[in-house]
Amino acid sequence: MKNNTKQAKTLIKENYAKKIYLIETDSFKHVVKEYYQHDNENIYQILLKYSHPNIVPIYKVDRDETKIIVHEKYIGDITLSDILPINNHDMLLNVLLQICDGLLFLHSHEIIHRDLKPDNIYYLNGNVIINDFDIAKIDENKHRNKDTHMFGSVGFAAPEQYGFSRTDERSDIYSFGALAQYLMTGDQNQPISKKNPLKPIVDRCMEINPDERYGDVNELKLDLERIKLGKSQYALPGFRRGIKKNKIIASIVYIIFILLVLVAEDGSEGNGPKNHLSAKIGFAFLMLPFLFIPTNYLNVHRFAPRNIKKHKFITNFMLIGMYYFLVFVILMFLSPFL
């Protein structure tokens, strides 16, 4: 039987490194990208194998003697550039949280995008879809001091993308901050109002020193979720995300903690109310790190070296040890005056 399906192939972009075609049939559209100077076939193979709602779907990856050929889903032609500035607070947070989800997926596969900007993020029926992996990399050589190639879009690329140090997931976090600012203001050079609750988050994302940024996207996402729920940054662990189960567990833990403090006593005989009160306060200070360090309250994990932050048990153990050492030093200093 003869196939009468018509197919149209339209060249929509061309430069020295690639050609992009839109392939249309009567019932289907998809995009074909032909890369002539591209060494990121492994990234597209990962995206072909795994999928995520906030990452452009890849259908097929081919290679011949001169090029890599990537077939991907057609996701329209509306990008975040077409809808900025986003003045609706809820819509803005929804967009930013979806970008976080996409980045979490990429970073879980060691993929650093390195080119987050409005033109590379599509908006389709309320869904945010990250595309354009032309300068993405696999974060595999963690011992290299800086990247061998300098890439990035001016105004969005992190300083380390210009050869100052090695790019990693914190480079995408910098770009996320620049992107968020642009989405809110519609102008890369216009700062966010100091009254905007997102300003501290954006400022932290865009710290020049990567160590001063969020350590990972999950930490960033938690802060955005807190803003979405209208919670203060000082909200106690268990009450920051508005999850009922977490609230119940946290309430039980805090009640037990208070009861333990109330029954804490100084073991010495003949001590008055002052000594008993001191015993209760001392017990509370000894127990506090077990409440707030494992839950990363006020981002205390930032004091841990970056190379161990991904190992939560070691991070918590080290920070609790640092807390007790600090308390010991303070008590030694104050002991002559007590």
Residue 165, helix vs strand vs coil? coil
- Confidence bin at 148 (pLDDT 50/70/90): very low
List pLDDT tens digits, range 243-275: 788 889 999 999 999 998 888 876 555 556 667
Beta bridge partners of 122: 79, 129
Contacts of 178 (CB under 8 A, 6+ apart): 117, 155, 156, 188, 205, 206
Whether residue 1 is predicted with pLDDT greater than 50 in this model: the reply is: no
First-last CA distance in the chain: 97
Q: Are 99 and 116 in contact (CB under 8 A)?
A: yes
The Cα-based distances of 239 to 107, 214, 229, 243, 287 in angstroms read 27, 21, 10, 7, 19
Q: Give backbone dihedrals phi and psi of 62, rounded to 5 degrees, phi first.
A: -120, 165
Whether residue 93 is predicted with pLDDT greater than 60 in this model: the reply is: yes
List pLDDT tens digits, range 158-196: 999 887 678 999 999 999 999 999 999 998 888 888 889
Measure the CA angle with vertex 289, ends 316 and 238; round to 5°. Answer: 90
CA distance 266 to 278: 8
Topology adopted by domain 8-73: Phosphorylase Kinase; domain 1 (3.30.200)
**Over the range 193-203, which residues count as b (16 or more CB within 10 Å of their CB) and which as e?**
eeebebbebbb
pTM of the full structure:
0.79
- Confidence bin at 306 (pLDDT 50/70/90): confident
CA distance 204 to 67: 40
Residues of the chain with CATH 3.30.200.20: 8-73
Residues of the chain with CATH 1.10.510.10: 80-228
Contacts of 150 (CB under 8 A, 6+ apart): 161, 162, 163
The CATH code that applies to domain 80-228 is: 1.10.510.10
